[in-house]
Amino acid sequence: MQTYIFQEGSLIPKESHRKVLVADSFLVQDGKVRSFQLHLDRFLRGLDLKVPELRNQFEAFLSQALSLIPKAGRYFPRIEVQDAEKAVLVFTLRVAPEQLGPATLWTYPYPDPRKDLTVKGPELSLGYELRALAQAQGADEAVLLNEHKEISEGSLSSLVWWRGDVLCAPSNEIPWLESVTRHEIFQIAQSMGFHTMLEHRRPEELIGLELWLLSSLQGIRVVKSWLGVSDDFAQGNHVDSFEKRLKLLATTLP
C-alpha cells in the first residue's frame, strides 16, 4: 500500500493519518473498472458539500492518481479528502484481495451508531471497527439496525434480498450510505425485467430468503448464515446471471 498527498500540484508519497472528510474506492482489475463515473460523481458530490475549495484541484489530482494504477493485476485504490490543519486530496494505491466466498452476518446489538451519512468518508473508520467486532464473533460483516430494529446495511457493505423474483432492499426512509454496487444491482434487475421493492424488515423476517452482501470490492457475496438469526438462507438462482452482467459493466480505466 502506498499513500500520496496532493501538494502544490503534485502527488507526493507520504504517510497520512488524518480525519477523512470524503472517500471513494473502486476495484480495478487488469486496467478495467465498473461504473467509474458513478464513483466520481459520488466523490464530487461529497467534495462540493464538504470542501468545495478543492474542486479546482481535482482534475489534476485525478489524472496523476490514475496514472499510478498498474494496467495489470487487481487493485482497490482510494481517493480521499483528509483534514488536519487544512483539507488535502489523498490517493492510496492498495492491492485488492481475491473474491471471497459465502458470507456470515452478525447483528450489531445497538442502534446504528453512525452520525454522518451525507457522504462516504466520515464514518469509514467506524465501519472498520464494527466489522472487526463481527469478525471477533466469527462473522464476516456486521449488520446495522435502526432504532426500530429494522435493517439498514452492513458496516461496509449493502444488504439486499430476494422474495421469489422480486429484488428487495431497505427503504429510503432508513438511513443508509449511497452505494454504487446497490445502484448497479437494481439497474441490472430492472434491465432483466425483475420487479424491485424497498421495505422495512427485521433480520428474522428474512429467514429462508436469498440474501446478498454488496460492495465495490467483492461484488456479490451470498449470505450463508446469520449468527443468532438462522442458518436457513436460500442459495437461489439469481447470482450467476447478475455476476456476469456486473462484469460487463467494467470498462477501461481512463
Q: What is the DSSP string of 200-249?
A: ---GGGGTTSEEEEEETTTEEEEEEEETTTBS-----S-HHHHHHHHHHT
pLDDT above 90 (res 8): no
CB 139 within 8 A of CB 191: no
For the chain, the average pLDDT equals: 95
Residue 230: predicted pLDDT: 96
pLDDT above 90 (res 14): no
pLDDT band of 53, cuts 50, 70, 90: very high
Residue 120: predicted pLDDT: 95
Tell me the domains of the chain and their CATH numbers.
2-93 (3.30.470.10), 103-251 (3.20.10.10)
CB burial readout 13-28, b (16+ within 10 A) else e:
eeeeebebbbbbbbbb
Q: What is the mean pLDDT of residues 96-120?
A: 94
Which residue is it, cell 446504528? 112
Residue 86: predicted pLDDT: 87
- CA angle 77/41/132 to nearest 5° reads 45
CA–CA separation, 27 vs 94, rounded Å? 10
